[in-house]
Structure 1
Amino acid sequence: MLARLRENIAVVFDRDPAARSTWEVITCYPGLHALTFHQLAHALWGMQLKWLARWVSHWSRWLTGIEIHPGATVGRRVFIDHGMGIVIGETAVIGDDCTLYHGVTLGGTSWNKGKRHPTLEAGVIIGAGAKILGPITLHAGAKVGSNAVVVKDVPPGATAVGIPARIVADNVAQAREAKAETMGFSAYAISANMNDPMVQAIHGLVDHSANIDSRIELILKRLEKLGVDCSDERATADKFDPNFLNKIVD
């Protein structure tokens, strides 16, 4: 249990730039507290001490604002950021290295016994407020945008956005996502169909930047074929300032 706790503390430093000290993480991170309580509650559930497991889970919910059913299976190095309002159902399965933000629901769609909650494979990221409903599978590396409602399986590495969620698969969206990740943030939580001019402006900037980068790369390759040394240009080609995008949405 102590080894798992150390692992979960290390994950906070890996994924939250606001974390400053181990003491702060241990005392002030409800996601860490909820996962630690769940480890105990899940063990009690496995020993058929159902009421005691639910009682531990109930106190964990009261203390952290995060409700994890003791029957749920949670893997290693899972990170819950902020966490308030998260609900994880009894038959939910969360794989290793997943990340959940506040307001996420891993819920069921029927009252039937058996598997009725989602399965998250390794490395899945769920944006704030997203609802993942039913015995579906989000395959390894999948991402779900904020406030999306997912009711169907999501393929490996795919991004799902919207209500109901759809897979972002077109080339323009993939270029936008790839460019956004290189600049230190991910645009997967923003739908291109939203009627918000600010969102459209951000998409326009990211698309334009991705287009310019591809054209510059083409020019550099052609120059290199002519024998021109472009190593300096490649080293300094990407001058896009991610802080500028952050200021836009402040």
Structure 2
Amino acid sequence: MSIDPHAIIGGGLYIGHIGGVHINPQAIIGSNCNIGHRVTIGASAMGRKGAPILGDGVFVGTGATVIGKIKIGNGVKIAANTLVMSNIPDGATVMGVPGRIVMRAPKAVESPALPVAETIDAK
């Protein structure tokens, strides 16, 4: 396991099995994240500088790799063995190599405006 002390990590980080977890010193990890074993969160060897920023409540499955200067939104779920190299919006589920969004967070449904009750003037 290699978690650099310079990485910024929010409270509530859970690592179920510590084997093979690597976190880059430039990585930023939000609060209440869950990281599986054999996960890499780091810089890309493909010339892109910087490390990922993970939002709050992110789940990273076993064997996943999140690399490059990218932003992973709040509540994102990254499936096991997924390679993520691009920004992911809040609430999305990502899987595959390369990672692709397979499910997005449902949009908030606005309820129709209710008629305002008329007031009766007291006479």
TM-score by length of 1: 0.40
Distance (Å, rounded) in 2 between the aligned partners of 1:168 and 1:88: 25
Q: 2:34 aligns with which of 92, 99, 103?
A: 99
Contact 2:94 2:103 in 1 (8 A): no
CA RMSD of aligned residues (A): 2.0
Q: Is 1:148 aligned to residue 98 of structure 2?
A: no
**Structure 1: any 5+ residue segments left out of the alignment?**
1-65, 175-250
1:157 is aligned to 91
Residues 200-230 of structure 1, C-alpha deviation per residue, up to 9 Å, x if partnerless?
xxxxxxxxxxxxxxxxxxxxxxxxxxxxxxx
Residues 125-163 of structure 1, C-alpha deviation per residue, up to 9 Å, x if partnerless?
000000001011110000100000000011100000000
2:113 is aligned to none
Q: What secondary structure does 2:94 align onto?
A: strand
Within-5 A mapping of 1:13-52: none
Distance (Å, rounded) in 2 between the aligned partners of 1:123 and 1:70: 21
Query: Which structure's relative contact order is higher, taking Cα pairs within 8 Å and 6+ residues apart?
Result: 2
Contact 1:132 1:149 in 2 (8 A): yes
Identity %: 38
**Structure 2: any 5+ residue segments left out of the alignment?**
106-123
Q: 1:128 aligns with which of 38, 53, 62?
A: 62
Contact 2:76 2:90 in 1 (8 A): yes
Structure 1 residue 122, shift from structure 2 partner: 0.3
Distance (Å, rounded) in 2 between the aligned partners of 1:111 and 1:138: 19
Q: May I ask how many residue pairs the two structures share in their alignment?
A: 105
Q: What secondary structure does 2:12 align onto?
A: coil
Distance (Å, rounded) in 2 between the aligned partners of 1:111 and 1:149: 14
Distance (Å, rounded) in 1 between the aligned partners of 2:43 and 2:12: 24
2:7 is aligned to 72
Distance (Å, rounded) in 1 between the aligned partners of 2:46 and 2:6: 16
Distance (Å, rounded) in 2 between the aligned partners of 1:137 and 1:82: 24
Q: What secondary structure does 1:90 align onto?
A: coil
Structure 1 residue 169, shift from structure 2 partner: 3.1
Distance (Å, rounded) in 1 between the aligned partners of 2:6 and 2:29: 12
The residue type equivalent to 2:14 in the other structure is: F
1:185 is aligned to none
Q: 2:100 aligns with which of 163, 166, 172?
A: 166
The residue type equivalent to 1:161 in the other structure is: M
Tell me which structure has the larger Cα radius of gyration.
Answer: 1
**When you count helix as a share of all residues, which structure comes out higher?**
1
Q: What secondary structure does 2:19 align onto?
A: coil
TM-score by length of 2: 0.79
Contact 1:110 1:116 in 2 (8 A): no
Contact 1:89 1:108 in 2 (8 A): yes
